[in-house]
Chains A and B, each alone.
Chain A
Amino acid sequence: MGFQPVVLWTDLLLFGLIACVLLAAWSARRSEPMRDAWRRVGESSVGMASLTVLALFLLVGVVDSLHYRERLAPAGGSGDKAQLSTEVRSALDAVAAPLRTRVEKTYSAPLAYQLFAKQTLEGPDGTQRREFPRLKFGGSSLKYPEVDQTGDILGRIGIGLASAAVGWVALAGVLVAGVARSRRVPVGAAWRAIWRGKGGLAWRSVLATVGVVALLAGPLAALAVEYHVFGTDKVGQDVLFLTLKSIRTALVIGTLTTLVTLPLAVALGIMAGYLGGWVDDVIQYLYTVLNSIPGVLLIAAAVLMMQVVIDTHPQWFETAAERADARLLALCVILGMTSWTGLCRLLRGETLKLRELEYVQAARAFGVSTTRILARHVLPNLMHLVLIALVMDFSGLVLAEAVLSYVGIGVDPGTVSFGTMINAARMELAREPMVWWSLVAAFIFMFVLVLAANLFADVVRDAFDPRRS
C-alpha cells in the first residue's frame, strides 16, 4: 500500500517559516551585536532549558505536519486506478498508530482496564448484569486485572525509566563528545566543564531538561503501549493522542500569525515614522480604527464571515482536512490582521527617534535614496524590537486560541486543539462522578508550552533590549 504526500497550506507556511528562521540565524552570525545577544541567550540556563522544551514541542509539531494520504487497494480488477483515501494523515498519526486506532467505546479513566460507566451486559446464559465492562484495548492483555494491574504498571514504569536513562546517557555522551571536539579538549575535561556549568553555552541545563523530560516520557510511552495513560474521551479516543495533536495547532497559531503581523507592522510602522505627513496620518488613523474595535468582536466578525465563504465554496476543498486547514489559516490571518497595531505603534515611535540621528541625517545629506536609508540604517536598528515582540506574542496567541475556540470562533470543530479539548471537557465536569482527565492533560501540556515560551521570551528580551543589559 503506497501513499501520496499532501502538503497543506499551513504545513507549507510552517516549513517556510522554519527555513526563514534558520536563514536569519545564519545571517545573524555575521553581525557582531546579534551574535553577542544570542550568546547571552545561550549562556542563560533558563533560556536554554526553555528552548529545549520548545524544541521538543516543535519536533512533535513538525512530525505532525508531514501529511499524506494512503492509497487504497483497488476495489475491482487490476484495471482500476488506485483510489486515495479521503483521510489525510500525518507522520505523527503513523508513529502513534496504536494510540490512534485503539478506540474504546466511551470514557475510561487513566490507566483503567474497564469503562467508566456501568453497562448492562448479557451473560452467556441470558441473565443480565450491570457492571463495568472491560476495555477493548486498555489492559486487555491482563487475565486477572484486579490482581495483576499494579504489578504490570510498576513493571512498565521500570522499563520506561530504564530506557529513558539509557537514552539520556547516550544523548549526553554524544553532546559531550561534540563539545569536546569543538573545544579541542579531552572528553573528560569537557564533561567536567559542562557539569560545573562553566564556559560557553548552558549545556548543563539542556541535559537536565532533557533528563527530566525523558524520565517523564519514558514511563509514559511504556505505559501507553498497553493503557490509555490519560484515559479516553467521550467517543473513546485516547486523550494522550489528542493532546499530542493539539500541539501542532497551538504552534501554527502562535507562529504563522506573525507571518501576517510582521510585514504589515514593519512596513507601515517605518513608513509612518520616517515619512511623516499625510502618510503618518493615514496609518495612525488606520490603526486607531482597528484598535478601537474590541479584539474578540473584530475576530468574531471576521471569522463568521470567513466561515460563510468556506461554507459557500465546498468545491475548493478536496478533503475535510483541507477545509479545517483553511479555517486554521484564516484564523491566523485574522489574528494577524487584528494584532499588528501594537508593534506598528512601537516601530513608528522608534523610527521617529532614529530619523533624527546624525548618521541617518548624514546619509540623507549625501543623497542616499529613502528606500536605501530605510533598508540599511533604519530597519537593522529595529530588528531587536521586532524579535522581542515576536517571542512575546507567541504565548499570548496560544492562550488566545483556547479562548477563541471556547467562544466558537476558533479553529474548525474537527481540528484537535487545546481550545476544543477544554471546551469538550467543560461539559464533562458536570458529570457525576467527574471526568477530569482530559482537562488535566490539556492543562499540563498547555501550561508547559506557554511557560516555556514566556520564560524564553523574557530571556530574549533581556538579551536584546539595549536598555536592560
Chain B
Amino acid sequence: MFAYIVRRLLYAPLILIGVNLLTFALFFVVNTPDDMARMQLGAKRVTPEAIERWKVERGYDKPLLFNAQADGADKLTNTIFFEKSLKMFAFDFGRADDGRDIATEIQTRMGPSLAIALPTFVLGLFVTVSLALLLVFFRTSYLDFAGVVLCVAMMSISGLFYIIGGQWLVSKVWHLVPISGYGGGLDSWRFLILPVVIGVISGIGGSARWYRTIFLEEAGKDYVRTARAKGLSELQALFRHVLKNAMIPILTGVVVVIPSLFMGSLISESFFGIPGLGSYTIDAINAQDFPVVRAMVFIGSLLYIAGLILTDLSYTLVDPRVRLE
C-alpha cells in the first residue's frame, strides 16, 4: 500500500512534465512569441520595435530552450522554457498580462469557487443517488419508465439553458434572489443558492440515469436475491447490499473530481458573476491572457492527478478485497 502510493506520487511529476511540455509546445513552438505580440498589439501596423518592447516587458525575449550566449547554468535557466514552464513546479506563475500576480489572484479566488462547487457537488451527489435508488426501488413500473424518460429529456438540454432559464424564472419573474453578484461573509448565501440549485438540477439527468444502471446491474445479482429470500425488505436490500456494492463504479467517477472542485465551474461562475477561478479562466481566455491560461492548465492537471490517487485510496476504504500493490 505504502509503496504503491509512493510509486504513484513519483509518477505524478512525470505526467506534469508531459503536461508542461505539451503546453509549452502549444504556446511557444506552434506560435512564436512574435505572433503573440502581433496579435496582442493589433494585427496590422505593428512596428518591430513595439514587438521587441512587448517581448522584453513580459520576458519572452529569451531563447526557447537553450541560451548559447549566457554562461554556466544560465545556459539552461535563462530561457523561456525554464522561466515560464519549469518555474510552475515551484508555484511561481509569474504575472498576468494586466500585471497582477497570478499566484495571489488564485489564492483569493479559490474561496468563492469552492463556495459554489462544494455544495453543488455534495448536494448533487445526494440528490442523484437518492433519485436513482428511488427509480430502482420502483423498477419495471411506470414511475421508473417516466423517470428514465425525464432523465433523457433533462440530459438533452444544454447546461446554458438551465442557467438562463433559472435566472429568468427565479430572479427576474419571482424576484427571489439577485440575478448575479457575490458578497463576502455569511450574507453571500443569497448569491450562492441559485447557482448551486441550478448546478444540481442540470446534473440530475445524466447522473441519475447512470447510477440507475449501476444499481440495476447490482440489484439483479444472486446475492441480492438471496438477501431478499432470507427475508430482508426491499429497502434493506437496497441500502445494505446494492448501495454498498455499487460504491466502486460510483467512486471511480466521483472521487476524481473532488480536487478539481477548486477550479470552479467556468460557465456558472461567469453567468452569475462570481469572482472565482472559473470566471478568472474565462476572462483570461477572452482577453487571450496566456500566462493565466498556462497556470490554470498546470493547476488543473495537478488536481486531476491528485484525484486519481485519491480514487485508488478510496477503493481500499470501501472494498476490503482491493489491495493496492
Q: Which residues of A contact B (CB under 8 A)?
A: 285-286, 288-294, 296-298, 300-302, 304-305, 308-309, 311-312, 395, 399, 402-403, 406-409, 418, 422, 426, 429, 434, 439, 443, 446-447, 450-451, 454-455, 458
Contacts and interface: CB of A to CB of B under 8 A. Distances in A.
B155 A308 contact: no
B267 A406 contact: yes
Given A312-B35, A454-B152, A408 B286 contact: yes
6 contacts: A293-B19, A293-B300, A293-B301, A297-B300, A308-B31, A309-B35
Contacts of B297: 293-294, 297-298, 301
Contact of A458 (B23, B43, B152, B160): B152
Interface in B59-81: none
A456 to B, nearest CB: 11
B301 A399 contact: no
A308 B164 contact: no
B288 interface: yes
B30 A309 contact: yes
Nearest to B20: A289
Interface in B21-77: 22-23, 26-27, 30-31, 35-36, 38-39, 43
A285 B14 contact: yes
B177 interface: no
A326 B168 CA distance: 36
A288 B281 CA distance: 23
A408 B18 contact: no
Contact of B263 (A285, A292, A294, A312): A294
Contacts of A402: 158, 160
Nearest to A288: B15
Contacts of A286: 18
Given A300-B293, A311-B39, A426-B164, A292 B30 contact: no
Nearest to A426: B164
* Complex A-B, nearest 10 residue pairs according to Cβ-Cβ distance, in ascending order: A289-B18, A294-B300, A451-B156, A450-B156, A292-B301, A292-B304, A308-B31, A300-B285, A402-B158, A297-B297
Contacts of B260: 294
A426 B163 CA distance: 10
Interface in B146-172: 152-153, 155-161, 164, 167-168, 172
A435 B18 CA distance: 48
B23 A301 contact: yes
B305 interface: yes
A144 B299 CA distance: 65
B282 interface: yes
A298 B297 CA distance: 7
B266 interface: yes
Contacts of A454: 152, 155-156
Given A292-B304, A297-B297, 19 more contacts: A289-B22, A292-B15, A292-B19, A294-B260, A294-B297, A297-B300, A300-B285, A301-B26, A301-B27, A302-B26, A304-B290, A309-B35, A403-B158, A407-B266, A429-B167, A429-B172, A434-B168, A439-B161, A454-B152
Contact of A305 (B19, B26, B160, B164): B26
A296 B266 CA distance: 9
B15 A429 contact: no
A447 B31 CA distance: 38
| Most chain A CB inside 10 Å of its own CB: which residue of B152, B285, B300 | B285
A406 B160 contact: yes
B256 to A, nearest CB: 10
B293 A304 contact: yes
B296 interface: yes
Contacts of B39: 308, 311-312
Contacts, number: 122
A305 B31 contact: yes
A294 B285 CA distance: 14
B293 A297 contact: yes
Contact of B285 (A304, A309, A443): A304
Contacts of A293: 19, 22-23, 297, 300-301, 304
A136 B281 CA distance: 44
A300 B308 CA distance: 23
A233 B23 CA distance: 39
A309 B156 contact: no
A293 B295 CA distance: 11
Given A294-B297, A451-B156, A403 B31 contact: no
A393 to B, nearest CB: 14
Contact of B267 (A288, A292, A403): A403
Given A301-B293, A439-B164, A309 B31 contact: yes
Contacts of A312: 35, 38-39, 43
Contacts of A455: 152
Nearest to B300: A294
Contacts of B285: 300, 304, 407-409
Contacts of B30: 305, 309
A289 B27 contact: no
A291 B304 contact: yes
A451 B15 CA distance: 38
Contacts of B172: 429, 434
A112 to B, nearest CB: 21
B304 A294 contact: yes
A395 B156 contact: yes
B217 to A, nearest CB: 9
A300 to B, nearest CB: 5
Nearest to A409: B285
Contacts of B22: 289-290, 293
B35 A308 contact: yes
A93 to B, nearest CB: 26
B64 to A, nearest CB: 15
A297 B264 CA distance: 13
A304 B286 CA distance: 9
B221 to A, nearest CB: 14
A254 to B, nearest CB: 13
Interface string B217-256: 0000000000000000000000000000000000000000
Interface in B121-176: 152-153, 155-161, 164, 167-168, 172
Contacts of B286: 407-408
Contacts of A418: 158
Contacts of B43: 311-312
| Most chain A CB inside 10 Å of its own CB: which residue of B35, B38, B158, B282 | B158
A3 B269 CA distance: 48
Nearest to B289: A304
Contacts of B282: 407-408
A80 B49 CA distance: 45
B169 to A, nearest CB: 12
B320 to A, nearest CB: 24
Contacts of A294: 260, 263, 296-297, 300-301, 304
Contacts of B36: 308
Contacts of A450: 156-158
